[in-house]
Amino acid sequence: MLKSKKTQPAATAPSAPRVLALGAALASLADTALAGAILDQAGLDRLAAARTATCDLVLIDADAWEAPALAQALQALSTAPAAPPVLLVGERLPTTVVRNLLRLERSDVLEAPFTPEQVAQAMAALLAAAAPAATPQADSSRCWAITGAVGGAGATTLAVEVATTLAARAGKEKSVCLIDLNLADGAAAAYLGAQPALRLAGMGASAERIDAAMLQAFVTPVSKQLDLLAGLREPGAFDAIGREAVLRMLEVACECYEWVILDIPRHRRPWTLEALSGCDEVLVVSELTVPALLAARSLADEIEEALGPDRKPRIVLNRLASRMFGPAPSMSEAERALGRKADAGVSSDWEAAAASVNLGGPIAQHRPKSKIVRDVQAMVERLSAEPGRKEQAGAKRAA
Ligand SMILES: Nc1ncnc2c1ncn2[C@@H]1O[C@H](COP(=O)(O)OP(=O)(O)OP(=O)(O)O)[C@@H](O)[C@H]1O
Ligand SMILES: [Mg+2]
């Protein structure tokens, strides 16, 4: 039987923002700007007593309340300790109400008509101002990209396990960030049993505003050491989040975390090559079938051609079975099809992989003795022992 979400360990608890929404009409934003938030719809009587301990942001529909009562409640809130940020939206924004709103440490106003994206963006900015920033540690940062040669090769599974392995070795909190760049329908959050924070489109429209604090408003802590940056399912996300925003997000992540692991979509996006060029390692995941090996060879060749010969992608053969059912290429046949050596292999273990995705959480948590965990650990040990690009560049300069 599947474990219910409620019984999952606290380590995978969602970090969705808790939003107190005052005004019945705000319910219409539940599936857009407020998707991913923990929503508490209430009356104006709750405003004066709102505190950061139980609420991350208050969203008020100014048109739903009488101006004197709203102004008075805002005045009371502005004198209280630990008042959460307030976003006021509406058609009628009386001066007395706005003046009292401005007494708050953090607040913003959106005049109707506005789009759900504008609401999401204003909320993200207020939440970012409230969130503690991770300490920049760019000097030691290392970034690995993982992508599949064919659909379903295991890129997301391995990205989750690599990030988990690195987090388990990390001493410091917030050492590793796993970023799911399958912006429209990424699976990393579901595999981890974690909740994506907000709609990433809220970040997409304002590349220049992305900084450490804003990044923190979007990440979901998975454990003390591991954060996840992933969006909610959003069919238009690849269009809504531009090249500049993606690259800026990666740049800031590399400033904030010691390790950044990217789950990269197979199909090339306007930012793919630039994102890969900033990585220390690019892992192309393939299976041991002829079409997958040929696809891995083409993809690795394309990447190498674009990034140069010193940036050879690594080939990881996933789902290796000790006893094959049906004809499968031998390792030497596989390497002939690849036109290069495979850099790592990960055993097949369907039971462990299924337990992980169905229970929500890495294989290392649900099936720590799985061969997948052992193989990923060996690969991480080996690759992380090699110097990162910054060290290599330093060594070249010194020579
Ligand atoms: N080593 C493995 N042994 C057994 N099953 C595995 C292994 N690696 C991945 N799987 C399973 O294979 C399926 C596809 O894996 P995954 O979603 O990671 O692939 P992907 O390359 O990210 O796919 P997509 O192209 O959809 O992004 C999942 O059900 C996963 O649990
Ligand atoms: Mg995937």
pLDDT (tens digit per residue) in 258-293: 999 999 999 999 999 999 999 999 999 999 999 999
Domain boundary among 85, 113, 130: 130
Residues 26 and 147 placed together within one structural domain of the fold: no
Residues 113 and 249 placed together within one structural domain of the fold: no
Environment of ion ligand 2 (residues, CB < 5 A): 155-156
Residues 31 and 146 placed together within one structural domain of the fold: no
Question: Residue 57 falls within a domain, yes or no?
Answer: yes
Distance between Cα 355 and ligand 1 center (Å): 12
Residues 192 and 144 placed together within one structural domain of the fold: yes
Residues 81 and 32 placed together within one structural domain of the fold: yes
Residues with CB under 6 A from ligand 1: 148, 151-157, 187, 266, 318-319, 346, 348-350, 353, 357, 372
Question: What is the pLDDT, as a whole number, of residue 230?
Answer: 92
Question: What is the pLDDT, as a whole number, of residue 297?
Answer: 96
Of 147, 156, 158, 299, best ligand 1 pocket probe by most atoms within 8 Å of the beta carbon: 156
Question: Residue 289 falls within a domain, yes or no?
Answer: yes
Greatest C-alpha distance within the chain: 79
- The CATH number of residue 244's host domain is 3.40.50.300
pLDDT digits (tens, 9 = 90+) for 221-249: 999 999 999 988 888 888 888 888 999 99
Domain range for 321:
138-385
* Chain centre to alpha carbon of residue 131: 16
- Nearest atom in ligand 1 to 150's CA: 25
Question: What is the pLDDT, as a whole number, of residue 374?
Answer: 97
Distance between Cα 105 and ligand 1 center (Å): 47
Question: What is the pLDDT, as a whole number, of residue 3?
Answer: 33
Residues 104 and 55 placed together within one structural domain of the fold: yes
Question: What is the pLDDT, as a whole number, of residue 389?
Answer: 63
Residues 149 and 81 placed together within one structural domain of the fold: no
Question: Residue 396 falls within a domain, yes or no?
Answer: no
- Nearest atom in ligand 1 to 285's CA: 21
Identify which ligand lies nearest to the alpha carbon of 357.
1
Question: Residue 208 falls within a domain, yes or no?
Answer: yes
Question: Residue 390 falls within a domain, yes or no?
Answer: no
Question: Residue 40 falls within a domain, yes or no?
Answer: yes
Residues 63 and 184 placed together within one structural domain of the fold: no
Domain count, the chain: 2
- The CATH number of residue 74's host domain is 3.40.50.2300
Identify which ligand lies nearest to the alpha carbon of 372.
1
Residues 125 and 163 placed together within one structural domain of the fold: no
Residues 100 and 187 placed together within one structural domain of the fold: no
Residue nearest to atom 25 of ligand 1 (CA): 151
Question: What is the pLDDT, as a whole number, of residue 390?
Answer: 60
Distance between Cα 91 and ligand 1 center (Å): 49
Residues 183 and 92 placed together within one structural domain of the fold: no
Question: What is the pLDDT, as a whole number, of residue 275?
Answer: 94
Residue nearest to atom 8 of ligand 1 (CA): 154
Residues 116 and 255 placed together within one structural domain of the fold: no
Spans in the chain with pLDDT lower than 50: 1-14, 133-136
Distance between Cα 77 and ligand 2 center (Å): 45
Distances (CA, A) of 212 to 14, 19, 220, 276, 291: 20, 22, 14, 21, 42
Question: Residue 251 falls within a domain, yes or no?
Answer: yes
Hey, CA dihedral for 68, 71, 74, 76, is it positive or negative? Answer: negative
Question: Residue 399 falls within a domain, yes or no?
Answer: no
